[in-house]
Structures are given as structure tokens and as C-alpha cells.
Amino acid sequence: MRGSRYLLLFLLSILLLPSASAHQQRSSNGTLRGTTIDHPERMSGSWEVKGEYAIYGLHIQLTTKVDGAPATLTVVRQIFHDATIEVY
């Protein structure tokens, strides 16, 4: 169980660190919705840690929005919209 706490703390620190510019403000309800996320693919996916008696993990799926209809996401501003986090 100790390992799962470390994994959760690590992931929360990644998600809560501001990757947006300093002048961008959080929404009034305290969520990160609407903030810019650099490389959301680095946070999405399965994160696992081996505990004493089991393997604990999280599966994170981030949803972002982009302005317009770009042909590629390279150097495109991606705006955080939603996240799904599953614990296993």
C-alpha cells in the first residue's frame, strides 16, 4: 500500500505543476480545465509501482482541445479539458 501512495503523490505532483505560462489563471472552481498542457501524452497511459505484496497502478487518459483543425499537433497549443483516472 505504501508504494501506491508514492505513485499517487508522484502523479498528482505532475498534474498539479503548472505547465501553463505564468499569466494564465486557473478557473474559478479550482480545476485545471482550460490551462495549456505541454506534451499530455507524457502523462497519459499506465503508471505502475511494485509494492510489497502487489503491483499498484493508475491508468490516466487526458483529453485536450486545440484551436482550429491542425494537420499535426507539433507546436500546437493543447488545452486541458478532462481526465479519466482508473486505479488498479
Q: pLDDT tens across 49-86, in order?
A: 888 888 889 999 989 998 888 888 888 888 988 889 89
DSSP state of 30: S
**Burial status of residue 87 (CB atoms within 10 A of its CB: 0-12, 13-18, 19 or more):** exposed
pLDDT at residue 51, rounded to an integer? 84
Characterize 58-73 residue by residue with b for buried, 16 or more Cβ atoms within 10 angstroms of its Cβ, and e for exposed.
Answer: bebebebeeeeeeeee
Domain ranges of the chain: 2-18+32-87
pLDDT of 32 above 50 = yes
By three-state DSSP, how is residue 8 classified? helix
